[in-house]
Structure 1
């Protein structure tokens, strides 16, 4: 039933190429194994009408009727282009399958092949080796981005963001995390980040800045059986920072394994680690699940913040989200604040904290210290009051 449904949808995709014809039927779909199908499309034709292609992708997900029941389908699509990703059928199929099995395909339903996600490509193997070396030899660094309290105009905390300076071929932070998660390097990487964040906070205390630091935790870390124990022992060695290192976990990532995520987060809460729910509003988790988490802070995703100055609908959503989170006892942080008007609107809505390029881009430690030395809360207070 599924194959018939898929074949009927694919035949209407612009540029779809038939793979077999009989006297009665034309087949656009090939079976690679009992759970995997493949089809071929002229990319030039398909890309010229993206709306039709998107509609077809949605049609693929329609449920099929089986014995009077509507059986839901949740297929993942992986795409490889000729000749960019390969010159023969075997290579293209293998690389499309790699894309289909990626986290991006699981999250979004479709993904394109990237060599950085291919554990067998030369570029990927080099990147993995280089990252392992960088972790072992302390070649990575953390940048800091400040969090501003809208009530007091004080800088009350920072988010630590990973960077890989000095590499000949730059690597984006999200790519560093993706490679680490896919190769098991996320375990030593997260442990390095935590220790580095603790050392940085110690240096901040030395210059008079008693502010917390938030670090991002991968869902892979929450699946490590010894992660909570490691964190507990680490914090015992840095008791001066107790309660000042917050773990940020994305809303979407927790839904990959909600039961084990909840168990791990409760163990971290028992160890005295504050929790923040990152990218809130970008996923599909239920509020009943969110309420079970031992979190004290919600970070509204930048996708909801970016256009509130221009879009009334977005303002309504953000205002409602802030009020709802406050009623449930959460502190609310808005990410991605890039202009004064957005900052003023969030202040009027009662948002607690903001971070974003309006204040500053993430900076290395010494540059952040210089920025803090020049920060003038009174000037910011006057600008918001005048808005």
Structure 2
């Protein structure tokens, strides 16, 4: 038996005065709760600095993920040597004083941009003005001044103590794509310099060469990857909370590079845009996602497939027609496709995006807003977007089982979405505690490692055999 996917219709006229008042109230509540939540979760209570979680979040917002090398930011890590850290561990007051002095120095050297405590012995700061594409003697002078300022002696109860430091350097967006990778890279650089007793300026040489080589391989290889099928798709299952059955899968693209190994989209999507390959990449993902979906249906699994769409794709007025044509070629009804957009993409070219989404929904596709809560759209903006599903970002789910502020924010989002006739899907569910909390709040769908990691098609087919679901 074929089960027709549900289709939620949002009628803008249904936004009554009480609902509009709810929108404003929930917006204010979301802001207030977020401030309180940030203070509790992201600030180290002893030093007043951003802690690891707060620093990671701040780095994501401050440091653009720019694999093309356009970033002018530098990440500096400052860590006490193991020997000095061991000596200071017996005197917590002195340890705290030394780290406080170092954080103040790092803050001044970074121009007050962004600093935090990655651990009790590791400080991290971001500074701007590094044009990595055109290094010159000024960069060496600047790094030399940073190293000398940080290692200058510190007054400890009237005695001058020279800090023994490992200082590292990394380039956000180039030395990895996540804050943790940047910090790890900077620590590796620091250890290498310490072992060879080299100055910080030496970090510029090998690191830049390796990064430039990697960037060149990605830039020159993406077109070939599309032609020679080096790209691959992974599929993460989504569970219907009401029935416990698997209702859909999300398609996630990966690049199996012959020299660099597995590359995630955050590292090559910008390259696709700069190279004019966005539409080709998007079409590849769509066509192969629908082909895989057809295989799932033929195996008896009546699942919907969600596909992420780039903001650039909505610039093409024929985007919706291309999607519908691909569905026709695959022999699938429009109701089996869910198109995912982010807040930023919806805001970037709102008129074109809304027009394409309206056309797709009229044909029977469903529309989801991905990573809700991480962009700049107000809750009131939701009423103007033709959509069916609101995906709650994983950052709100991480501590939902234990943090009352997170619980209130997610509950407010779920209540508002339901008032607007939207389905709510939680991302990043990794524990039974998170699942239980979301179920109690009335969440409709969820996905995450608790259910399954993203799987290749054949592995997904094998996994689905033992899962409860609706059969085609």
Q: Considering the TM-score relative to the shorter chain, is it more than 0.5?
A: yes
Any conservation in 2 of the 1:80–1:113 contact (CA below 8 Å)?
A: no
Deviation at 1:80, TM superposition (A): 2.5
- The CA RMSD over aligned residues, in Å, is 3.5
Note if 1:284 corresponds to 2:333.
Answer: no
Classify 1:236/1:191 alpha carbon distance in 2 versus 1 (closer, same or farther; 3 Å): same
Gaps of 5+ in 2: 1-71, 80-100, 115-126, 142-170, 178-207
Q: Which residue of 1 aligns with 2:135?
A: 86
Q: 1:39 to 1:164 in 2, by over 3 A?
A: closer
The alpha-carbon distance between structure 1 residues 152 and 257, as it changes in their structure 2 partners (threshold 3 A), is: same
Counterpart CA distance in 1 for 2:347 and 2:287 is: 27
Deviation at 1:349, TM superposition (A): 0.6
1:23-61 C-alpha deviation (Å, 9 max, x unpaired): xxxxxxxxxxxxxxx999999799944667889449xxx
Worse-matched range after superposition: 204-213 or 120-129: 120-129
Tell me whether 1:137 sits opposite 2:228 in the alignment: yes
Q: Equivalences for 1:292-371 in 2 at 5 Å?
A: 292-371=384-463
Query: Which residue of structure 1 lines up, in the alignment, with residue 258 of structure 2?
Result: 167
Return the alpha-carbon distance in structure 2 between the equivalents of residues 40 and 204 of structure 1: 46
- Offset at 1:262? 2.1
Q: In the TM superposition, what is the alpha-carbon distance from 1:152 to its structure 2 partner?
A: 0.3
Query: Which residue in the other structure is 2:464 paired with?
Result: 372
| 1:273 equivalent in alignment to 2:273 | no
The offset of 1:85, in angstroms, is: 7.9
Query: Which one of 328, 331, 334 corresponds to residue 236 of structure 1?
Result: 328
CA contact (8 A) 2:306 2:338 kept: yes
The answer to whether the 8 Å contact 2:74/2:130 transfers is no
Q: State the structure with bigger RCO (CA 8 A, min sep 6), 1 or 2.
A: 2
Any conservation in 1 of the 2:234–2:457 contact (CA below 8 Å)?
A: yes
Moved more, 335-344 or 254-263: 254-263
Equivalent residues of 2:308, 2:341 under 8 A apart: yes
Partners of 1:40 and 1:213 in 2: CA distance: 40
Is this contact kept in 2: 1:115–1:124, CA < 8 A?
A: no
What's the CA shift for 1:144?
A: 0.4
Map 1:1-387; keep pairs closer than 5 Å: 48-49=103-104, 56-57=112-113, 79-80=129-130, 86-88=135-137, 112=172, 114=174, 121-165=212-256, 167-170=258-261, 171-375=263-467
The CA distance in 1 between the partners of 2:418 and 2:436, in whole Å, is: 19
Q: Structure 1, residues 136-173: CA drift from partner, whole Å, max 9, x if none?
A: 12221110000001110000000000012353313223
CA positional deviation for 1:309: 1.1
Superposed CA deviations along residues 191-235 of structure 1, whole A, max 9, x for unmatched, are 011110111011001111010000000001111233223223223
Q: Measured at CA, do residues 134 and 305 of structure 1 come closer, stay the same or move farther in structure 2, by a change above 3 Å?
A: same
Give the superposition deviation at 1:236: 2.9
SS of equivalent residue, structure 1 residue 338: coil
User: Structure 1 357/39 Cα, relative in aligned 2: closer, same or farther at 3 Å?
Assistant: closer
Q: Paired residue for 1:5?
A: none
Q: Would the aligned equivalents of 2:392 and 2:424 in 1 still touch at CA under 8 Å? A: yes
Q: Is the 8 A contact 1:304 1:314 kept in 2?
A: yes
Report SS of the residue matched to 2:369.
strand
Contact 1:80 1:112 in 2 (8 A): no
Contact residue 228 and residue 268 of structure 1 kept, 8 A: yes
Q: Deviation digits for residues 249-308 of structure 1, max 9, x if unmatched?
A: 011222223233223322333443311000011112022322111100000000101110
CA deviation digits over 1:334-369, x for unaligned, max 9?
000000010011111110000000011101011111
Q: Which runs of 5+ in 1 are unaligned?
A: 1-37, 59-76, 93-110, 378-387
Q: Distance in 2 between matches of 1:125 and 1:47?
A: 37
- Asked if 2 retains the 8 angstrom alpha-carbon contact of 1:78 and 1:112, the reply is no
- Provide closer, same or farther for how the CA distance between residues 263 and 88 of structure 1 changes in structure 2, counting only shifts above 3 A: farther
Alignment length, in residue pairs?
A: 303
For 2:236 and 2:298, the matched residues in 1 are separated by 19
Contact 1:115 1:121 in 2 (8 A): no
Question: SS where residue 165 of structure 1 aligns?
Answer: strand
CA contact (8 A) 2:218 2:268 kept: no
